[in-house]
Structure 1
Amino acid sequence: MPLRGRSAVRRVAARGTAMVLGAAMAVITGLTVAPAVSASPSAAGALRWAPCDDPARPGAECATLSVPVDWAQPDGPRLDLAVARRTATDPGARVGSMVFGPGGPGDSGVERVVRGISRFSPEVRRRFDIVSFDPRGVGGSSPVTCSGDLLAERPSPELKSQADFDATVAYNRRLRADCRARTGPVFDHLDTAQSVRDLDALRATLGERKLTFHGSSYGTLLGAQYAETYPRRVRAMVLESVMDHSVPTTRGFLRAEAAAAQDSFQEFVKWCHGAPDCALHARDVRAVWQSLLARAGRGELEDPARPGTSLSSADLVNKIAFRKFYQADYAGLATAIARMDASKPLPASPTSIAPLPPATPVFCADWHLPVRDYHEYASLISMTNTTAPDLPSLLPTHMAAACLGTPTANPQHRLDAPGAPPILVSNALHDPATGYPWAVSVARQLGRSGKLLTYEGHGHGSVTSGPCMEDAVDSYLTDLAVPPRGTRCPAVPRRGVW
């Protein structure tokens, strides 16, 4: 029986017995990840577009695309993918459709399109219909649902013993069984290799002989594997803030993530030292930050977003610092740190465990990150803390703990995409989540097809960072003009960044 994404979610929400594994892991009270879709399910070979149910943001159209739950059994059960688009602003100059691959994992492509597509340049919006979708297991595409009570029992990822390690593995298996039972058959088919087939079905249904694609962050994994699977069906592909799915070991993955994060912190400290308008200028930035981490560890640091509530050290790192690193907003981070430093300490109390990241089962289906026992886990944590001494409790270590004992359908491997056209691989030199070395590696794996475009600046995302980047990407997407080998674009002034 087909799995009807949004209607199924509404029925689960009405029962109040499940939880969407998404943004803040809150109990479902309604649909908040993506706007409702009013269009009827697509007929075979066609998308039935209708205005999305968001009158405050007109102009987007929504539809659903029926695909197999398991592409190895194309005649088996099906699910509906939520799809959205905004048509080209200049129909007479339209090149075709460009599909955006959302990040996360767990980001809603439908929400991205409905809320607006300002992340793309005016020229791209003029020349292309911008299309995106909620990947399977996310938002309006049969989202993963789990017991709220069971999610609340999640053990701390800060393991102290082999008994803690064993309890985490056992919990992960219990949670996986619960989520599978509540989500249905799609739970076992959430990996990016399945989404590659979904993407090709969307390309065909849009009437595009070849795919024009822009993938960001986790969406680069989808794009790269599409190019590997269907190299001769690619027209143009931008991979922005690139994940390297060839990293073979848990240690290598966590070390790379920690190094990228620490690099952004060091860039922040360097900026603050040289910028008179930094709220921490002339102070020991690291000492102030370490004092906040200590206060957070004792439960004495107030959450700026929730007065009277303590902020954990994990949330201080992953929510406060990283959000500013993503935006390259060093001035904003300095101001936030200064305000927290000046705040009155709360009475010491235990802090809550940081919520799981969105769509953890998708990540676990794509990344084989084995850890033998507590001894190895402790060694990995020690390594990440040495690599990123200013940023303990990094999100990737939480992800690794959440995947302990779970199977991986689409494990890491080196890319092999012979016959693919030029693919633009774009990355900032100082990206906190997908470090520049990953982009260099992916471009090399793509061989003659990989064209590295370097942004000599900061932040997660770079394609509209100044005229040099924007012109290079626009010319490539619209006219298939590949920038010269070794193109590097200078950093542009952003608020609080050189």
Structure 2
Amino acid sequence: MRPLFKALTGVLAAGVLAGASTPGVEAADAGPPGRSPTTRNVIDWKPCPQDATAECGTLRLPVDWARPSAEKFDLAVARRKATDPDRRVGVLLVNPGGPGDSGVDFAVRRATSHFSADVQETFDIVGFDPRGVGGSQPVKCSAKLLDQAPSAYPGDQQEFDQLAAYNRALRQDCRRHSGPVFDHADTLSVVRDMDAVRGSLGEEKINYFGHSYGTLIGEQYAERYGDRIRTMALTANIDHSLGTREFLVSSAATAEDSFHQFVKWCESTSSCALHGRDVTVVWDDLLARADRGEVHDPQSPDQVLTARAIAFKAFKEYFYGPDWDELAAYVAGLDAQKRVPEERLRTLRPQPRAPQGAEERTRAEPFYAVFCQDWRFRPKNYQEYAGLTRAELRAAPHLRGSPRVHAAVAGCVGWPDRVNNPQHRLHITEAPEILMLHSLHDPANNYTWATNVHRQTRRTTVLLPYEGAGHSVYGRTDCTRDAVDDYLVERKLPDSGSRCAPATEN
């Protein structure tokens, strides 16, 4: 997922645009169950403060679509108009993933470098911040409470109970600071919002590009509003039919696979900073030293690095690209550190944070409000949780499990059993053919997730494998980019059995 999360405590809400947009026109009441209003509601577009070449606005929508006349919130929206009006085909709604990444920020700051000139000429590129994210009434929590999170690796039933109690307290705290949007941050509600955006733009059909968690928005939009789609391209796909064990183990396995891809690259590449050494041994020894408190952050010498912190940095900062050269240099640098005497280790512990000012007492943390309402992951006791952890570690012995999904599942321990958007197999009946791309060696979203989704929707989806590594797919090669461009612009799908070869550089 780009990223499923950049870090699990607040950094997902990058590009917050609260206060930057202008008020829009309130949406009409909902129509029949499962459908959004058909009345057109105009967004009052203004130049974006961050970049006047893009337009920003808001759309007022129900917090709870089952009670459309009750409390409302403002959905932040941004648009870049097609650069060649004579070629304009329609709108391309986009979501870059997360959950928690800003679609407004993507449209304003990243779309021009992400998409080809052909796509920019042909479509109005429209991004929105999903409810609870960025400028769309963001979910906020007490910074002090967020900083008191217990370990996601409890050692017994008592520590498991403490984790559950903390999660319940944090959930109530976030609800108090965020209002009722917290209880309606699930993807099904986001799907209703996206269709309201379509209506506000006066479009009978939309085009959609979703990456990572953004593919779940696309998949569920296709289930509910398939007849309102012209084209839909999904990269790094989510399989929303997985149970807890399948989700954890497959996530760990694909992270471990990326580690082995790195090792293979280093063995065959002379520029690798670890070339000629046994990379696996170097890595395992480094994590063992970190377990003993012997490794510290080169950028912050007073900060001791844990094994999990090293694994997470490798996973998120270097596997996603992938950026093998940078990873090799990072590992080599940590490995070359001098052994730190025990008496010095006691002075290299993280220092308490300084008291925060009034404006910093809360911070945005939308991840769990979305994730724990989209997935019924609720380990009931330590025995069940420990069994899941052991299975995860067996699937990824060198990465110590999944660096991100373990913490995600841990964050739902103790939540109510009721889930707004529980897992299910996709059932798409009215949508046109949807293009799916997925890396064979995606570090975050296992390639089997894409094949599972394709199997569930075989009459509706076309799967194009990218045979390389990394989480991002669209811009990896001419093959991946051209496949998406040809499909979005001309509705031309790849030939059956097509594949894209891996990029030559990392």
* 8 Å Cα contact 1:37-1:63 kept in structure 2: no
User: Residue 384 in 1 paired to residue 378 in 2?
Assistant: no
Amino acid at match of 1:155: P
User: Residue 348 in 1 paired to residue 345 in 2?
Assistant: yes
Match of 2:224 among 226, 229, 232: 229
Instruction: Give 2:135's aligned residue.
Output: 140
Indicate the SS of the match to 2:245: helix
Amino acid at match of 1:493: T
Instruction: Give 2:313's aligned residue.
Output: 319
5+ unaligned residues in a row in structure 2: which ranges?
Answer: 27-40, 353-362
Instruction: Give 2:78's aligned residue.
Output: 84
Match of 2:412 among 399, 403, 408: 403
* 8 Å Cα contact 1:173-1:405 kept in structure 2: yes
* 8 Å Cα contact 1:312-1:351 kept in structure 2: no
CA distance in structure 1 between the aligned counterparts of 2:351 and 2:287, rounded to whole angstroms: 15
The percentage of counterpart residues that share the same residue type is 47
Alpha-carbon distance, 1:24 to partner: 6.6
Alpha-carbon distance, 1:33 to partner: 3.4
Alpha-carbon distance, 1:310 to partner: 1.8
**Alignment coverage as a number of residue pairs:** 469
CA distance in structure 2 between the aligned counterparts of 1:113 and 1:173, rounded to whole angstroms: 35
Instruction: Give 1:459's aligned residue.
Output: 470
* Deviating more after overlay: 406-415 vs 155-164: 406-415
Amino acid at match of 1:173: R
* Deviating more after overlay: 120-129 vs 187-196: 120-129
Alignment of 1:235-384 (within 5 A): 235-247=230-242, 249-346=243-340, 347-348=344-345, 359-384=367-392
CA distance in structure 2 between the aligned counterparts of 1:138 and 1:262, rounded to whole angstroms: 31
CA distance in structure 1 between the aligned counterparts of 2:84 and 2:211, rounded to whole angstroms: 25
Amino acid at match of 2:479: C
User: What do residues 201-242 of structure 1 show as CA deviations (whole Å, max 9, x unaligned)?
Assistant: 011112211121001000001000000011111111011000
Alpha-carbon distance, 1:274 to partner: 1.0
CA distance in structure 1 between the aligned counterparts of 2:15 and 2:351, rounded to whole angstroms: 23
Instruction: Give 1:3's aligned residue.
Output: none
Q: Could you say what the CA RMSD is over the residues aligned between the two structures, in angstroms?
A: 2.2
Indicate the SS of the match to 1:99: strand
Indicate the SS of the match to 2:500: strand
CA distance in structure 2 between the aligned counterparts of 1:319 and 1:204, rounded to whole angstroms: 41
User: What do residues 228-277 of structure 1 show as CA deviations (whole Å, max 9, x unaligned)?
Assistant: 01111111101100010011x21111011011101111111011111111
TM-score in terms of structure 2 length = 0.88
User: Residue 153 in 1 paired to residue 148 in 2?
Assistant: yes
Q: Classify 1:83/1:356 alpha carbon distance in 2 versus 1 (closer, same or farther; 3 Å).
A: closer
Moved over 4 A (4+): 21-24, 349-353, 355-358
5+ unaligned residues in a row in structure 1: which ranges?
Answer: 1-20
Instruction: Give 1:12's aligned residue.
Output: none
* 8 Å Cα contact 2:315-2:443 kept in structure 1: no
Alpha-carbon distance, 1:184 to partner: 0.3
User: Residue 168 in 1 paired to residue 163 in 2?
Assistant: yes
CA distance in structure 2 between the aligned counterparts of 1:140 and 1:312, rounded to whole angstroms: 34
Amino acid at match of 2:48: C
Instruction: Give 1:489's aligned residue.
Output: 500
Alpha-carbon distance, 1:143 to partner: 0.9
CA distance in structure 2 between the aligned counterparts of 1:208 and 1:275, rounded to whole angstroms: 51
User: What do residues 350-378 of structure 1 show as CA deviations (whole Å, max 9, x unaligned)?
Assistant: 5699x998612211111111212111111
CA distance in structure 2 between the aligned counterparts of 1:357 and 1:483, rounded to whole angstroms: 39
CA distance in structure 1 between the aligned counterparts of 2:369 and 2:215, rounded to whole angstroms: 18
Amino acid at match of 2:116: S
Q: More relative contact order in 1 or in 2 (CA 8 Å, sep 6+)? A: 2
User: What do residues 101-160 of structure 1 show as CA deviations (whole Å, max 9, x unaligned)?
Assistant: 231111111111222312222211121111111111111111111112222221111110
Q: Classify 1:372/1:421 alpha carbon distance in 2 versus 1 (closer, same or farther; 3 Å).
A: same
